[in-house]
Structure 1
Amino acid sequence: MTASDEMMTRVRARTDRAVARAGLSDHMTFDDVVRAVEGALDMRLRIIAESDTAGWGTLTGFLTYFADRREGRIHVRAADPLLYRQFAASHELGHLLDDAHCSGVPVERSSIPPFDNPALTTPACETELVAEHVAHRIAGILYAGPRVAESSW
């Protein structure tokens, strides 16, 4: 098994634990997902659509977390389509649900894809991949079912 294979095995396991932590399941709405994460982590969350994002560059969203108040805010770009805002917010939910984040260790995140930034360490790359995998799992819950297909007729 290569180092890359080992990393992806860890990413998949962490993703599975993150999704299980919140009890995410089919037929949930985005609001249901956010409420499930709040319940799992015993915290309040707000998703804030920011209109002034001139200095964001390629950043699509970010998380501010206040452990002492048990509160988190996920900031996304208001100009992005709803589907894209939800995906960016889901990535940040993935950070909250991931074991590494919940350990209380502050982590500086990258605003570019992990494989495009040679300065990212393997643990930081894994953390970004876990959050991205959680976001894809949430997207599967929200948009892969017949409920969505029927609404597009």
Structure 2
Amino acid sequence: MTETDETLDRVNARVEHALQRAGLTPGMTFDEVVHAVERALEIRLRVVREVDTTGWGTLTGFLTYFADRREGSIHVRASDAVIYSQFAASHELGHLLDDAHCSGALHERSSVSPHDNPRLTTPEYEAELVAEHVAHRIARLLYASPRVAESSW
């Protein structure tokens, strides 16, 4: 088994644990996904569509979390299509659901694949892969049916 195989095995195991933790199921709405994450983590969470994103650069979303208050917020660009901002928010939900989530350092890397960012440490790289894989899996849950996907266009 190569190092890449071992990394993917760790990432896949973390993704499965994250999804099971929230009890996400096909056909859920995005709001239901957010509420499932809130229940699973026993936190209050809101998604904020930011109008003024001056200075965000390529950043598509970010998470603020206050463990002592058991609350957080996910900030996404209001100018993005809803389906795109939901995906960005789902990436942040992936960080919350991952036991080994990132340290919370803000990196402008949302438009850069974790595979192409040499500045990431191995734990950061894996955390980004987990969050990205969770976001893809949430998208499949939300838009598994062509009718559901069409209604979001």
Counterpart secondary structure, 1:90? helix
Give, in whole Å, the separation in 1 of the partners of 2:50 and 2:136: 23
Give, in whole Å, the separation in 2 of the partners of 1:54 and 1:10: 37
Structure 1 stretches lacking a partner, 5+ long: none
Cα distance per residue 1:90-119 (max 9 Å; x no partner): 000000000113xxx734253322122212
Q: TM-score scaled to structure 2, two decimals?
A: 0.92
Q: Is the 8 A contact 2:100 2:127 kept in 1?
A: yes
Kindly indicate whether residue 107 of structure 2 is the aligned counterpart of residue 110 of structure 1: yes
2:38 corresponding residue in structure 1: 38
Kindly indicate whether residue 76 of structure 2 is the aligned counterpart of residue 79 of structure 1: no
- Cα RMSD, aligned residues only: 1.6
Deviation at 1:2, TM superposition (A): 1.1
Aligned residue identity for 1:108:
A
2:144 corresponding residue in structure 1: 144
1:22 corresponding residue in structure 2: 22
Structure 2 stretches lacking a partner, 5+ long: none
Q: How many residues align?
A: 149
Aligned residue identity for 1:66:
F
1:52-63 to 2 correspondence within 5 Å?
Answer: 52-63=52-63
Which stretches of structure 1, 4 residues or longer, exceed 2 Å deviation after superposition? 149-152
- Aligned sequence identity (%): 68
Which has a greater percent of helix?
1
Give, in whole Å, the separation in 2 of the partners of 1:85 and 1:150: 16
1:47 corresponding residue in structure 2: 47
Deviation at 1:121, TM superposition (A): 1.0
Counterpart secondary structure, 1:100? coil
